Structure 1
Amino acid sequence: MAGQEDLGEAVTTREDFPPGMAPKILSLLKNLKQLEDNLKPLTAKPYHDILSTLSPLEKSKVGIMEVYSINTLYWVLMRISGEDVDTTLKDDYRVEMNRLKEIQSRLSEVERRAGRTRIDRQAAGRFIRQGLGRSARREEEDDDIEEIPNKRKKTYLGTYESEVKEEYPEEYPEEYAEEYSEEPAVESNPRFVESWQ
């Protein structure tokens, strides 16, 4: 920009600037020129065209960069104005910059997570089973087995209800009637009879 170069020459040639101020203003002008050059790709096209070609992660980065640039330029404007900067403005600026740093750290965390490789657990399981020599038929059988419920009731004997087998079926054949009768056969057991005599 010709205006900034003219201003830079005016700063160096004018004698009404304090001697320590001219290098700072020249440095500021160089940095503004560099900022303008860096922002040219974003300002060359309409804003919505640029954002439509970016991924969501890149859009977030552009948004953070914009807010950071605006805040920094505002801070420079406050400092250049020569007025005493109110403490509330300084505090507001610090709060905003800390918020931007937090957002930047979250964004870098998302970017780091996106770069990690993801494991397809089902495919890995199939790969391991095939590597161990498990047959496809056995694999199908395993897939058909229903899962055991996580919570099972414990019976008073310490076994699980699902493991307790019925000792006396409700209906039993006639030939086993004596075996499953409800009355104890005390007289028929000779050992029992001998122990009481």
Structure 2
Amino acid sequence: MEGRVDKAELRRKIVAAREELTDPRGPATAIRETLLDRPWVQMAGLVACYWSMGTEPATQGLIFALWKHGATVMLPVLRPDNDLDWAVYDGPDSVAPGPRGLMEPVDVRRGVDAIRTAALVIVPALAVDRSTGVRLGRGGGSYDRALARVGPNVPTVALLHEGELIDGVPAEPHDVPVSMAALPSGIVTFGTTVRAGGGSEPV
């Protein structure tokens, strides 16, 4: 499967499937607990995350927990050119409505390159290819630009519902793979899945 038409069709199918979920925000607790149990999450002093919306796995509890555990959490601010600026989250009262229904931090903007300093990057995705780590976004290209600025050894994690780790996500030259996906059932590092209980097995 390749090309924009197939990618758009896959995007429509996954969005439609999410709309059918009875509790789309339900996986948030399992994902949050699995992530917070990992030493590489616990030791990340600066985390780039995002404020979920709609049927995305909810991130609000994860953001709050990271912040309470002492991490500095940056959230994206959408620029007019669809690139992502970044600002620091400082508790539930530090976000306000932005464009397109997004909640954004009210702190001073740190620039598009602020993500280069993050020790952990958590991003949204509609799906991720189980073999390559290529993520399917919503089509704006914002996160591909942001991920291109992240260092090669920094964990990049996409949050998914069960069933959204799939084969055949179309790849285009600008697509930047993620190194992991977090689902309610565990964390997948491409080539190996790390179960919520801590064990691992090949994907």
Q: Which TM-score tier does this pair reach, normalised by the shorter chain?
A: under 0.3
- Kindly indicate whether structure 1 or structure 2 has the higher relative contact order, using CA contacts under 8 Å at least 6 residues apart: 2
Please give the TM-score of this superposition, normalised by the length of structure 2: 0.21
Please give the TM-score of this superposition, normalised by the length of structure 1: 0.21
Higher strand proportion, which one?
2
